[in-house]
Structure formats: C-alpha cells, structure tokens
Structure 1
Amino acid sequence: MTAEPPHVWLVPTPVGNLGDITLRAVEVLRGADAVACEDTRRTGALLAHLGIGKPLVRLDAHTMHRAAQVLEDYPRLAYVSDAGTPGISDPGAELVRAAVAADIPVEVLPGATAFVPALVLSGLPTARFAFEGFLPRAGRERKERLSAIAARPETTVLYESPHRLAATLTDLASTCGETRPASVTRELSKKFEETARGPLADLAARFADGVRGEIVVVVAGRPLGEAVPGEEAPDHAALAQTWAQEGRSAREIRELLMAQGLRKNDAYALALQATQDA
C-alpha cells in the first residue's frame, strides 16, 4: 500500500465555545499522523472532547526549532494553537516556513479567529483595518507602535492580556487622544462574552481594576482633518491662498479643504476669501 504524501494542515480551534469546531477540522485531526500544538494539556483536552486519540507534539515558541524533525517523524501533521487560527500571533507561521522549505504542501483551514468578530462587534469602520497583534511590553518599539496607531486613518485591531489591558488603554488614550472611539471585547463565544464601547479614556477607567479572559481591543482611525500626532496642524488659510494663486476656483478650494476635515461653511469662507485676494 502506497503511503500518503507529506502534508501540513493548520487547523483553527475554538476561541471559546467548543461547538465552533468545524466538521472539516475534526476530519483533518482524525486523519493526521500527529497533532502539533502549543500546549499538550489544552489540546489533549480538546481532542478528548472530540473523541480523537493522536500523538501530541509540543511546538511552541521555545520548541519550534524542532519543526524539521517533527515534520520528518510525522509527515502528515496537523498543527493547532491554543485557540483560533494558527499563524496569527503564535508560532504557526514558523512551521509554515519550515514546511515550505522542505517542499511539503501546506493547507490552512478556515475557522475560528478572535479579531474578526471583535472588529465587527466594535461598530467601527471595517472596510480597511490594520492588525497589530500584541504590542511590545515596553520601550522604544512600544512607543513607535502606539504612535503608528494614533496616526493611522484605518481602524486598528490588537490583542492584549488581562493584566496589561488597563496600561495599554491608558497608553492608547494618551497617544491617540482620550476621546478616540474604541472597543474592548473579551470572552468571545463564551457565557460571559462582553463588548464595551466608548472613548479610550472611559474604557481605561472602566477596566482599571483588571479583567479576565482573552481580549481584543479595537481603536478607531485618526479622524479626517485631525493633525498627525507629533506634527503641526495644517494652515488651512495658507493652503487656500496657495491654491487660489494656482488658479483654482472657490469651489475646488472648498472641496480640498473639506477633504482635510474642515466643515463646509468654514471651508467655503476660506475659499471665498482666498479667491478674492488672489
């Protein structure tokens, strides 16, 4: 009998409710030679719930250097993270690189993930967004990432641990502005699922005493016309004068100023004054 060819599957697992596992995920877990995972106890409990008995291999951030050997020992390997889709803020991406280097086909199953439901639940714009994963705990890189979130016009989604949530919300309020809209979603698909929405300062105060559960924070993008943090606000009157000298009409100047966030009446007044002075 010819052996099945090597293959790697990244299998999403529930972020909360065990009923969120897909039929295809169960089929793949049953058919694999072994299941690699971050935590053998947690994954062992999931497999026991599903009635699946398979060898478990630990492949986390500390043991991923063993990936090539694991792929050799178990040619048809399923990989799961602690929860959600592997490869998002966990070592799964490194396993993919190892499999690609060994010319082993990789398949990622669709399924549970935390940031998509939280983004939709936030009520903030979803057409364009940036996923930040976990922020650095401290230092220059953390400050740079916070500044990038503050300047970004798109919605930002990030993960955070319960004991660091209050500090992160406070830092976001300081960097983005206390009134910037945001949301905090925790315990997705579980009994005590919660989404809190409001200005960053209010959310920082609400969660100042700590919270439990897996957490997703969603932050609104920089409002149109708001100066990028660290940069001077544009001189709209000077811009209107420059555009008028270039021969633009009052209507064109008004539209350009409105695109920068000025209210219609204010933009029209500046445009009219600039074209009269030109």
Structure 2
Amino acid sequence: MQQISSFNDHQSGSLYLVPTPIGNLDDMTFRAIKTLKEVDLIAAEDTRHTQQLLNHFDISTRQISFHEHNTEQRVPELIEKLKAGYSIAQCSDAGMPSISDPGKELVAAAVREGLPVIPLPGANAGLTALIASGLVPQPFYFFGFLERKHQQQVTALEQLKERKETMIFYEAPHRLKKTLATMAEVFGNERRVVLARELTKRYEEFTRGTLAEVTAWFEDHQPRGEFVILVAGNEHPTEKTDNEIELPLTEQVDKEILNGLSTNAAIKLVAKKNNIKRQELYKQYHQL
C-alpha cells in the first residue's frame, strides 16, 4: 500500500493538471490562469495552440511539448525536472489532461516517484454534454473515441450494448456518419441518442432522437465541429448465461483476433475494456 503524505513533506516541485477551455475562453478559471503564470514550465500537447491561450491571458511561462508521440522521451525528462524542484503545469489542447488526451503516463510516473500531483477542476466536454442531454446522468460510462475501422467499432460496441448506463463517446465530424450507422447496426435503430456539437461555442447545438432518426437527419446535413455522442443505456439487457462468463484476458484477446482484429488492436481493446495498461497486457499475452 502506498504511503499517504502531505505535499508539504516534499522538497520536489509539483505537477499541476490544468484543464483548458473546450471552446469558450471565459471558462478558464482564475486558479488555472494563476497556476500557469506561477509554474516554472508548461507541458503542452500543442505548444502553438496553447500559446494562443497564453497570449490571451498575458501568460509568459515557458512551454515544452508533451504529446502522444514523444511520451517515452518526455516523461523521464519531466520527472527529473520535478525532482529538481521545478513546478510543472500539464495541459492538453482542450478540456482535462488524460481524458482522451495525453497526460496519464506522466501522472502515473509522478505517483510512482512519490511526487505531488495537483489536479485543478475545469471544463470537460463529456460531462458538459451529459448534464444537458436529458438522458439519465448517473451512472454513466465514458468511452471516448472508438477505433476507426468498422469491424473494430462493431467489436467494441458489442461489448457495450448490454450496459444500462448512459454511454459517452467522442467523434470527429468526418467520421460521424459512419460511427452513427455502426451504432445503429449494433445497438438497434430505436436506441435513444443525443449529439452535442461545438459545446460552449457560438454554434453550440444538441440533436436528440433515436439512432435511426439522427442517422437519417445527417444524410441531409453535413457534420461540422467536434461531437460528443451520448447513447442511452440498455433498459432491457440480456442476462449472461454460464457460458458467457468473462474469459481470461489472453482468451479475450484471442476471441477479438478471431473477430477480425489485428493482435495489437485486440490487445488495445481488451486492455481498455478491463481498465488495465495496454503494455501490461501486451507482455502477458506474448509471455514477455
């Protein structure tokens, strides 16, 4: 069991997790602005994008890039800076770090090293959409982005179609129509769905209906902007039989491979479904 200690016990710097607006700059909190001004360094998903935010609030703190493609290089570097006493703010392009954005690897490394991790509250697209959706707000199940290939989406959605909770997905506009069609294929045409578009921005919009109705609507309308898709839970889920009891992890991977996924895609899906690290399952599956 990890020992609980006060942040004041540490001589190291602290890692601050700073949410940024998902559209409307007025949603930036006073505390977030103050933190970004006072830290020694900002680890940003896209330094050019974050610079626009910093310019708006007259923040001159130095930035360093930290995104999914340089994680292995940056995490040890940032951990050493924290140990040396630097305070670092980590932020993504929009919303909360680690939620469908970079961040979780740095947080995990800081926790392992016993370094202070300080989260700030702020904007989150999934929860913002959920409270205005009209669907049951709790419990809910957050998934984020589905894989892009049709069969991968089908496999993931098949694992979710019996869930009773409202489900939250993110999707880009150019993939929205195909994703809605796949959801209708797996969940059925009558499942209720809410689409939240351009949240907190000028053209914020909610589209509500069944999957059949919403899919038909987008046949005549071009999706624009980022979307949150909220799908109502299954009100009449099918009870599992003894033969459908959850398989061991490696057998789950084998099953997804038989369903058409590549080995890596199957490992990624099973890891996400079971809330474990992909690297751990990769090593377990390949007996490394």
* Pairwise TM-score range, normalised by the shorter structure: 0.7 to 0.9
Q: Which runs of 5+ in 2 are unaligned?
A: 1-9, 242-288
CA–CA separation in structure 2 for the residues paired with 1:110 and 1:85: 8
2:182 is matched with: 171
CA–CA separation in structure 2 for the residues paired with 1:223 and 1:19: 38
Shift of 1:155: 0.9
Identify if the C-alpha distance between structure 1 residues 24 and 38 changes in structure 2 by more than 3 Å, giving closer, same or farther. same
Q: Which of 119, 122, 125 matches 1:111?
A: 122
CA–CA separation in structure 1 for the residues paired with 2:77 and 2:151: 37
Give the secondary structure class of the aligned counterpart of 2:167. strand
Q: Which of 199, 203, 213 matches 2:214?
A: 203
Q: Which letter does structure 1 place at the counterpart of 2:40?
A: D
Q: Runs of 4+ in structure 1 displaced over 3 angstroms? A: 227-231
Identify if the C-alpha distance between structure 1 residues 154 and 54 changes in structure 2 by more than 3 Å, giving closer, same or farther. same
CA–CA separation in structure 2 for the residues paired with 1:64 and 1:123: 38
Shift of 1:172: 0.5
Matches within 5 A, 1:91-170: 91-138=102-149, 141-170=152-181
1:271 is matched with: none
Is the Cα–Cα contact under 8 Å of residues 143 and 167 in structure 2 kept in the other structure? yes
* TM-score, scaled to structure 2: 0.74
CA–CA separation in structure 1 for the residues paired with 2:151 and 2:188: 20
Give the secondary structure class of the aligned counterpart of 2:203. coil
Shift of 1:142: 2.5
Is 1:228 equivalent to 2:238 in the alignment?
yes
CA–CA separation in structure 1 for the residues paired with 2:174 and 2:230: 17
Q: Which letter does structure 1 place at the counterpart of 2:193?
A: A
CA–CA separation in structure 2 for the residues paired with 1:176 and 1:140: 15
How many percent identity over aligned positions? Answer: 42
Shift of 1:205: 2.0
CA RMSD of aligned residues (A): 2.0
Give the secondary structure class of the aligned counterpart of 1:107. strand
* TM-score, scaled to structure 1: 0.77
Give the secondary structure class of the aligned counterpart of 1:184. strand
CA–CA separation in structure 1 for the residues paired with 2:145 and 2:76: 27
Q: Which of 68, 71, 83 matches 2:76?
A: 68
Deviations 1:128-159 (A, max 9, x none): 11001111112654222211232111110111
1:12 is matched with: 19
1:217 is matched with: 229
Q: Which letter does structure 1 place at the counterpart of 2:140?
A: F
CA–CA separation in structure 2 for the residues paired with 1:102 and 1:31: 23
1:34 is matched with: 41
Aligned length: 227
Q: Which letter does structure 2 place at the counterpart of 1:193?
A: E
CA–CA separation in structure 2 for the residues paired with 1:38 and 1:165: 24
The worse-fitting range, judged by mean Cα deviation, of 20-29 and 100-109 is: 100-109
Is the Cα–Cα contact under 8 Å of residues 149 and 221 in structure 1 kept in the other structure? no
Is the Cα–Cα contact under 8 Å of residues 184 and 215 in structure 1 kept in the other structure? yes
